[in-house]
């Protein structure tokens, strides 16, 4: 609805106002005349009509409003109710505008939550653990840039689309990972962010059903989130993959995720999220921890490193090597990465080293590594887990 209105107003603030007006009208009209058969279409029509009225009356079309639409799609008096196709295009336009590479990543995420997911500024601020004025300023600054620099409100040209969708996927993935394991605070998971990322990935998949990157990301999110009920125990303590009760994994999400991952893997070269989803699928399909096909996982990480050479991926691969070939091989693989500057302040690198050292019985070195990991970890559930492992080493 907002997306359809922006196409008329070419201005995000004005579109938001019109959308709110439409809701206000619904509150007055619906109790009297009943809820219309298609409330969404009703609201969209009212919101867009309001926008057109404002545009005509104030003749702001050419003078005051920034050009968010290219001239080919400029609105005229003949704008009618959207067909489904147009609505889809509008949403894709809105997402592409919110995730435009000329905006900072923080601004992309904030705008996407605010304008695509419809969260209030207060909710977006809470989701990112910043104060409301800070978030309001961030959103205002981003909207100003969209206006002043004329960031276009349109689906990018075919040759640009893959790169732009990649940026959108990064935003959705960031939302998911931030929600899946909160970077700080008392809760391991932030449900609100996870649900938003699922909604966005589903929306993108509906808009771009043939995009393997989109399908891969949706698969990755579903497969990872399928384990959510088993990641902490009744006392809120972290349960490792190894000890999770697999009977409680969400089989519906797994089935959907596996099918999506399988389809996404057909694309050549394989896409980053499709490979990550495939790794999650190997875990999801192992009936017991002991059944995990670690060699398959190492092979998938090798492919992933080719399309996405990141030290964090290399670290995950090293952990998988340790599972396939034993803790000594794992430790060697982790230590081979010790020169990576990006991993220097990364808590999971220290935690992985600590775990292999503990299993090898090198208690002194393990103790130091756990202490280092604790210094670098701010999520309280993860801290409690590392603390308990440290005590285990201290007591033997």
Partner 1 sequence: MAEYLILIYGNETAMEAAGQPLWDELMAGHNAFGHKHEHAIRGGNALQPKSTATTVRHDGDRVSVTDGPFAETKETLGGYYLVEAKDLDEAINIAKDVPAPNGCVEVRPVMVFD
74 is a site residue for partner 1 (CB under 8 A) = no
67 versus 130: smaller Cβ distance to partner 1: 67
Q: Which of 28, 31, 57, 71 binds partner 1 (CB under 8 A)?
A: 71
Q: Give least dist CB 69 to partner 1, A.
A: 9
Which of 54, 52, 67 has its CA nearest to residue 11? 67
The answer to the question of residue 58 lying near partner 1 (CB under 8 A) is no
# residues contacting partner 1 (CB under 8 A):
14
Decide: residue 76, CB within 10 A, 0-12 exposed, 13-18 middle, 19+ buried.
Answer: exposed
Stretch that binds partner 1, among 109-117, 150-158, 301-309, 364-372 (CB under 8 A): 150-158
CA atoms within 13 A on the CB side of 290: 0
Task: Determine if 151 is a binding residue for partner 1 (CB under 8 A).
Answer: yes
Task: Tell me the two tokens of residue 310.
Answer: 């990141």
> Quick one: 149 or 248, whose CB is closer to partner 1?
149
Tell me how far, at minimum, the Cβ of 145 lies from partner 1, in Å: 9
* Of residues 10, 11, 5, the one with CA closest to residue 23: 5
Smaller CB separation from partner 1, 100 or 353: 100
173 Cα distance to chain centroid = 3
- Mark the segment that binds partner 1 (CB under 8 A) among 117-125, 133-141, 143-151, 235-243: 143-151
Determine which residue in the list 148, 158, 234, 247 makes contact with partner 1, applying CB under 8 A: 148
The dihedral formed by the CA atoms of 111, 112, 115 and 120, expressed in degrees to the nearest 10: -80
Binding status of residue 59 toward partner 1 by CB under 8 A: no
Q: Specify whether the CB–CB gap between 122 and 39 falls below 8 A.
A: no
Q: Which stretch binds partner 1 (CB under 8 A): 54-62, 151-159, 285-293, 365-373?
A: 151-159
Task: Give the closest residue to 75 by CA, choosing from 88, 56, 93.
Answer: 56
Q: Give me the 158-197 binding string for partner 1, x by CB under 8 A, dash otherwise.
A: --x-------------------------------------
Distance of alpha carbon 394 from alpha carbon 244, whole angstroms: 25
Helix (H) or strand (E) holding 206: helix 191-207
Which of 56, 74, 131, 150 binds partner 1 (CB under 8 A)? It is 150
> What's the CA gap between 337 and 12, in Å, rounded?
46
Footprint on residues 202-241 left by partner 1 (CB under 8 A) = none
CB of 381 closer than 8 Å to CB of 188 = yes
64 binds partner 1 (CB under 8 A): yes
Residue closer to partner 1 (CB basis): 63 or 80: 63
Site for partner 1 (CB under 8 A): which residue of 156, 202, 286, 325? 156
What's the min distance (Å) between Cβ of 100 and partner 1?
8
Determine, following the binding rule CB under 8 A, whether residue 149 of this chain makes contact with partner 1: yes
Residues 90-129 within binding reach of partner 1 (CB under 8 A) = 100, 102
Q: Give 242-278 as a DSSP string.
A: GGS-GGGS-HHHHHHHHHHHHHHTTSSSPPHHHHHHH
Choose one: 66-74, 134-142, 333-341, 350-358; the region binding partner 1 (CB under 8 A).
66-74
Residue-wise burial string across 274-286, b where 16 or more C-beta atoms lie within 10 A, e elsewhere: bbbbbbbbbbbeb
Binding site for partner 1 (CB under 8 A): 63-64, 67, 70-71, 100, 102, 148-152, 156, 160
């Amino acid at each position: 609805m907002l997306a359809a209105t922006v196409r008329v107003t070419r201005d995000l603030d004005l579109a938001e106002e019109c959308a709110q007006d439409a809701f206000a009208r619904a509150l007055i009209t619906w109790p009297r005349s009943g809820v219309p058969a298609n409330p969404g279409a009703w609201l969209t029509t009212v919101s867009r009509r309001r926008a057109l009225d404002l545009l005509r009356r104030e003749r702001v079309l050419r003078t005051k409003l920034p050009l968010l639409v290219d001239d080919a799609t400029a609105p005229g008096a003949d704008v009618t109710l959207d067909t489904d196709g147009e609505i889809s295009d509008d949403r894709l336009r809105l997402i592409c505008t919110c995730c435009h590479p000329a905006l900072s990543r923080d601004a992309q995420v904030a705008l996407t939550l605010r304008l695509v997911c419809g969260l209030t500024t207060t909710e977006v601020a809470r989701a990112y653990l910043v104060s409301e004025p800070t978030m309001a300023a961030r959103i205002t600054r981003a909207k100003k840039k969209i206006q002043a620099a004329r960031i276009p409100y349109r689906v990018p040209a075919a040759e640009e689309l893959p790169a732009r969708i990649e940026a959108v996927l990064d935003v959705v993935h960031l939302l998911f990972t931030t929600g899946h394991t909160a970077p700080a605070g008392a809760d391991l998971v932030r449900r609100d962010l996870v649900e938003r990322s699922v909604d966005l990935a589903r929306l993108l998949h509906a808009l771009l059903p043939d995009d393997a990157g989109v399908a891969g990301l949706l698969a990755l999110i579903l497969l990872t989130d399928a384990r959510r009920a088993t990641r902490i125990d009744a006392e809120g303590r972290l349960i490792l993959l190894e000890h999770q009760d697999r009977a409680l994994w969400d089989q519906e999400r797994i089935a959907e995720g596996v099918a999506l991952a399988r389809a996404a893997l057909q694309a050549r070269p394989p896409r980053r999220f499709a490979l990550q989803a495939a790794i999650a699928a190997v875990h999801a399909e192992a009936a017991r921890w002991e059944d995990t096909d670690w060699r398959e996982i190492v092979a998938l990480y090798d492919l992933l490193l080719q399309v996405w050479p990141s030290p964090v991926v290399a670290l995950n691969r090293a952990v998988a090597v340790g599972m396939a070939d034993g803790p000594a091989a794992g430790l060697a693989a982790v230590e081979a990465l010790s020169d990576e500057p990006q991993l220097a302040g990364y808590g999971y690198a220290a935690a992985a080293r600590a775990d292999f050292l503990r299993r090898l019985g090198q208690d002194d070195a393990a103790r130091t590594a756990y202490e280092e990991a604790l210094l670098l970890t701010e999520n309280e559930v993860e801290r409690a887990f590392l603390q308990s492992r440290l005590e285990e080493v201290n007591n033997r």
